[in-house]
């Protein structure tokens, strides 16, 4: 559990609005991305997790929102192409891929979440669930192969990294072009439907994920990047884990945030 002192010690809070969130990152579609070493994400993705993000996209052309890619044998990524939202998870060639059909609104702030419940049993399927703007989407497995408990533990990105906005194959031009990202978080648990709806209904600017609020609990929050620095190339982790990300190739700081 984080103490209040940790929050106050964040040097970026004082320059922000009262809610502690004043900026987002604007990606250029050419080479901009935010990157983390896989030290936090690799063990987290071996178990149950939830990732949340506020994103504002100009179009639904094919794009990578989140990616970690070592090879076809070990990867995790979220893509949007038209009305198809997909999350891929491959561990030691054992794939779990889910797809939702959804019309993601463009040129406005959208709340995205994906949770993955790992059952930990050899025979039962793991379940991934998509949410857009607090609503749970229907997910269809593309491959029926379940992640087994044995293979979950083999998820190994080696020296590959975890990114926002990074196309593992740059020649495909699926970087985030003209896209804004405002907050990004990693929870080492499956958040409830109500918890995700609470985050969405907060508008992003009013709920700080470090705070417990109503149906939302931060007890398993292990990475929280507000993308609120307003300058520089560090995406500061607001949790005690201090897993900062590196902002690469010059995305622009924008004052557009949800509710603004
Ligand atoms: Ca922000
Ligand atoms: Ca750039």
**Residue 29's Cα: distance from chain center in Å?**
18
**Is residue 59 scored above 90 in pLDDT?**
yes
**Is residue 12 scored above 70 in pLDDT?**
no
pLDDT of residue 3: 38
- The ligand whose atoms approach the alpha carbon of 248 most closely is 2
pLDDT tens-place string over residues 237-252? 999 999 999 999 999 9
- The ligand whose atoms approach the alpha carbon of 26 most closely is 2
pLDDT of residue 20: 63
- The ligand whose atoms approach the alpha carbon of 253 most closely is 1
Task: Scan for tokens 């470090």, then name that residue.
Answer: 210
pLDDT tens-place string over residues 206-228? 789 999 988 999 999 999 999 99
Task: Please indicate, yes or no, if residue 131 is contained in any of the structural domains.
Answer: yes
Task: Please indicate, yes or no, if residue 164 is contained in any of the structural domains.
Answer: yes
Task: Please indicate, yes or no, if residue 15 is contained in any of the structural domains.
Answer: no
**Per-residue DSSP letter, 216:** B
Report the CATH number that the domain containing residue 223 is assigned in CATH.
2.60.120.200
pLDDT tens-place string over residues 72-122? 889 999 999 999 999 999 888 878 889 999 999 999 999 999 999 887 554
**Residue 249's Cα: distance from chain center in Å?**
20
Give the torsion sign (CA, 224, 229, 230, 235).
negative
57 CA → ligand 1 middle, Å: 15
* Mean of pLDDT over the chain: 86
pLDDT tens-place string over residues 165-198? 998 876 677 899 999 999 999 999 999 999 999 9
Residue 24 and residue 256: Cα distance in Å, rounded? 6
214 CA → ligand 1 middle, Å: 22
Nearest to 210 by CA among 198, 199, 221, 225: 221
Specify whether the CB–CB gap between 56 and 42 falls below 8 A.
no
- The ligand whose atoms approach the alpha carbon of 27 most closely is 2
Q: What torsion, rounded to 10 degrees, do the Cα atoms 68, 178, 174, 41 define?
A: 0
**Per-residue DSSP letter, 14:** G
95 CA → ligand 2 middle, Å: 33
pLDDT greater at residue 122 or residue 162: 162
Structure tokens at 208: 């700080």
Residue 177 and residue 78: Cα distance in Å, rounded? 16
Greatest distance between any 2 Cα atoms in the chain: 51
- The ligand whose atoms approach the alpha carbon of 30 most closely is 2
Task: Please indicate, yes or no, if residue 8 is contained in any of the structural domains.
Answer: no
98 CA → ligand 2 middle, Å: 31
Task: Please indicate, yes or no, if residue 122 is contained in any of the structural domains.
Answer: yes
Domain count of the fold of the chain = 1
Task: Please indicate, yes or no, if residue 1 is contained in any of the structural domains.
Answer: no
76 CA → ligand 2 middle, Å: 24
pLDDT greater at residue 239 or residue 203: 239
Residues with CB under 5 A from ligand 1 (ion): 21, 23, 182, 226-228
pLDDT greater at residue 141 or residue 63: 63
Task: Please indicate, yes or no, if residue 134 is contained in any of the structural domains.
Answer: yes
Range of the domain at 218: 21-254
Task: Please indicate, yes or no, if residue 242 is contained in any of the structural domains.
Answer: yes
């Amino acid at each position: 559990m984080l103490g209040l002192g940790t929050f106050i010690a964040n040097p970026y809070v004082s320059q922000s609005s009262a809610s502690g969130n004043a900026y987002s990152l604007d990606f250029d579609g050419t080479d901009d991305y935010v990157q983390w070493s896989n030290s936090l994400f690799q063990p987290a993705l071996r178990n149950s997790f939830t990732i949340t993000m506020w994103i504002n996209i100009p179009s639904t052309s094919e794009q990578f929102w989140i990616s970690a890619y070592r090879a076809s044998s070990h990867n995790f990524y979220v893509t949007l192409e038209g009305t198809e939202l997909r999350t891929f998870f491959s561990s030691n060639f054992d794939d779990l891929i889910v797809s939702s059909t959804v019309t993601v609104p463009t040129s406005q702030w959208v709340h995205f979440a994906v949770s993955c419940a790992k059952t930990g049993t050899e025979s039962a399927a793991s379940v991934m669930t998509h949410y857009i703007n607090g609503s749970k989407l229907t997910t269809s497995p593309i491959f029926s192969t379940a992640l087994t408990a044995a293979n979950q533990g083999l998820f190994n990105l080696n020296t590959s990294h975890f990114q926002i906005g990074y196309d593992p194959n740059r020649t495909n031009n699926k970087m985030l072009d003209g896209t804004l990202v405002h907050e990004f978080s990693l929870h080492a648990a499956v958040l409830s439907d109500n918890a995700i709806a609470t985050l969405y209904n907060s508008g992003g600017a009013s709920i700080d994920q470090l705070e417990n609020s109503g149906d939302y609990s931060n007890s398993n929050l292990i990475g929280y990047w507000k993308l609120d620095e307003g300058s520089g190339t560090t995406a500061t982790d607001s949790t005690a884990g201090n897993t900062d990300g590196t902002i690469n190739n010059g995305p622009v700081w924008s004052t557009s945030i949800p509710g603004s």
